[in-house]
Structure 1
């Protein structure tokens, strides 16, 4: 079953989660072609920030022409054309990509949890940082990412408009051990960029930083949490399911076959 065939009966929830997801991880450049949302970010290679996002299953006019225009726009940014296929993607567009042999480039599960299930805790044992530069340095070290990504990641986080908590766990003689971002948007909170340093994975740090972020958001008024986790990341999926997260829908990235 493809991402566009799942959860058709719950499209309002999908639409809302897509909208808060875009706000939580903003692209540098946003354009519309009808209901197709183009997100492009020259400073960061994230597929979520560099993809076409169809938002109306009934918007199927001029598919070939629009895909050609999209390819040109992405090429101008030095990015490959990617369509982010969700339950909102028109089935006719999915069939078009299938017939043309478009490859699937990664699948992601969107999950939600009710914060009422969190353990009762009247306080915060870990306060978020306001220092974006410090958080970005910690995230790059924890994830083992290329330090060249720092300017782009800093720009993305600074562009987040909803209230944001930057969580950094550290040890004095080691440095950062775990990180997470909590983006509080009305009654929802998104958890992004959660990571644990390789040497300490499996020690409970992932659960600790996740719960710290969720407790902060709950005190801010959030009632439900959402995450987007890659389908092949078994450890992360297990972490979120232990915390009460359940699958809502999936999406994948589709790109034209190489010539």
Structure 2
């Protein structure tokens, strides 16, 4: 099995490839095409950056960069979107230097973290049972994140497209309704934590730990040996919580756009 304790300083490229692959399956784009090893992901119904970006997946694939970026820009424009490149440790250094020289700007960084479920102390029973009601979970996500209700059809479509086994976790209380959500996607021995959010009205009350522990417990019972997640690099409270659960950073990715 791949070593899940790789140093975040020098990325373990086979591990990066595996986590990128499960990440794509856990949050599937509506349209995926390949230009060489560059994955071009587009989803007209939802603005998520992970669903609308180019992801280069081979450090040696940087030929004809201008032409390929120009073709991708046209494809993104057809969807009414600006071209975004997602840089992981698999991106060609030549391409990133080209973007810098051509006036592109890096505008967001996220950490990819993993944790060992086998030795993680978790509650003996599930505090929250997973739901499989997509509509209820989408409504809860929108309420917790105070998002635009118009995104409901798009979120429902994305969740319906996830092929691996998934569990929707929702924490509700009589006063506020849904106050925390988490999506756990189990892909063989890896479980991904997605859409994890806690309402601003109830933060610092242990609710995030409660719902995350339930999701991880369910993943372990279902056969997962490790868990992974993605978090914005400047989200210090979330990162502190994940570290309490034994997660550690293994690599980061960055988004680039021009102008």
Q: TM-score, normalised by structure 2?
A: 0.95
| Residue 8 of structure 1, CA deviation | 4.9
Q: Aligned partners of 1:203 and 1:173: how far apart in 2? A: 15
Q: Aligned match of 2:46 in 39, 44, 47?
A: 44
The corresponding residue for 2:190 is: 188
Q: Aligned partners of 1:62 and 1:140: how far apart in 2? A: 42
Structure 1 pair 41/154, CA: closer, same or farther in 2 (3 Å)? same
User: 1:246-257 maps to which residues of 2 (within 5 A)?
Assistant: 246-257=248-259
Q: Aligned match of 2:135 in 133, 140, 153?
A: 133
| Residue 244 of structure 1, CA deviation | 0.7
The 8 Å contact of residues 180 and 211 in structure 2, kept in 1 or not, is answered as yes
The 8 Å contact of residues 179 and 194 in structure 1, kept in 2 or not, is answered as yes
The 8 Å contact of residues 117 and 244 in structure 1, kept in 2 or not, is answered as no
Q: Aligned partners of 1:171 and 1:120: how far apart in 2? A: 23
Considering only aligned residues, what root-mean-square deviation do their CA atoms show, in Å? 1.1
Secondary structure at the counterpart of residue 145 of structure 1: coil
Deviations, residues 101-155 of structure 1 (Å, cap 9, x unaligned) = 2111210000000002322544323111111000000011001111111111111
Q: Aligned partners of 1:98 and 1:34: how far apart in 2? A: 22
Deviations, residues 38-84 of structure 1 (Å, cap 9, x unaligned) = 00001100000000000000001100100000100000011110000
Secondary structure at the counterpart of residue 61 of structure 1: coil
User: 1:212-223 maps to which residues of 2 (within 5 A)?
Assistant: 212-223=214-225
The 8 Å contact of residues 8 and 87 in structure 1, kept in 2 or not, is answered as no
Secondary structure at the counterpart of residue 194 of structure 2: strand
The 8 Å contact of residues 11 and 251 in structure 2, kept in 1 or not, is answered as no
Runs (4+) of structure 1 exceeding 6 A deviation are none
Q: Aligned partners of 1:9 and 1:213: how far apart in 2? A: 27
Q: Aligned partners of 1:173 and 1:93: how far apart in 2? A: 51
Q: Which runs of 5+ in 2 are unaligned?
A: 1-7
For the pair 1:113 / 2:97, whether they are aligned, the reply is no
Q: Aligned match of 1:73 in 67, 72, 75?
A: 75
**What count of residue pairs does the alignment treat as equivalent?**
252
The 8 Å contact of residues 46 and 151 in structure 2, kept in 1 or not, is answered as yes
| Residue 206 of structure 1, CA deviation | 0.6
User: 1:1-259 maps to which residues of 2 (within 5 A)?
Assistant: 8=10, 10-257=12-259
